[in-house]
Amino acid sequence: MKSKLSHDEKIFAIERLRENKTGVENKTFKVSQAKECITSPYTWLISLHTASSSVSNGAISSYQATIIKGYRYKMTFRRIC
């Protein structure tokens, strides 16, 4: 980490980040983290939830006009006074 802080001040700052559970940005790819993500049950549950909720919404929004037309419902507008 590059900064104008002394070594002790850097340690204090990092400990403060650890206490807040925020962390330090790291842009290196780690195979172990990718493996952990793929094998995590939470990843698969979120994926399953997203896919299952999108399937029903996609079918309705894509075929909405065809479904309504299939009802052979003639829309009439009446004035209610």
What is this structure's pTM? 0.42
**Residue 15 pLDDT exceeds 80:** yes
**Average pLDDT score over residue span 62-76:** 68
- Any idea where the domains of the chain sit in the sequence? 27-55
> How far is residue 79's CA from residue 10's CA, in Å, rounded to a whole number?
74
pLDDT-derived band at 77 (thresholds 50, 70, 90) equals low
CA distance 13 to 67: 60
What's the confidence (pLDDT) of residue 62?
73
> Using one digit for the tens of pLDDT, what is the confidence trace for 19-67?
877 766 778 899 999 999 999 999 999 999 988 877 776 667 777 777 7
Cα–Cα dist 23/15, whole Å: 9
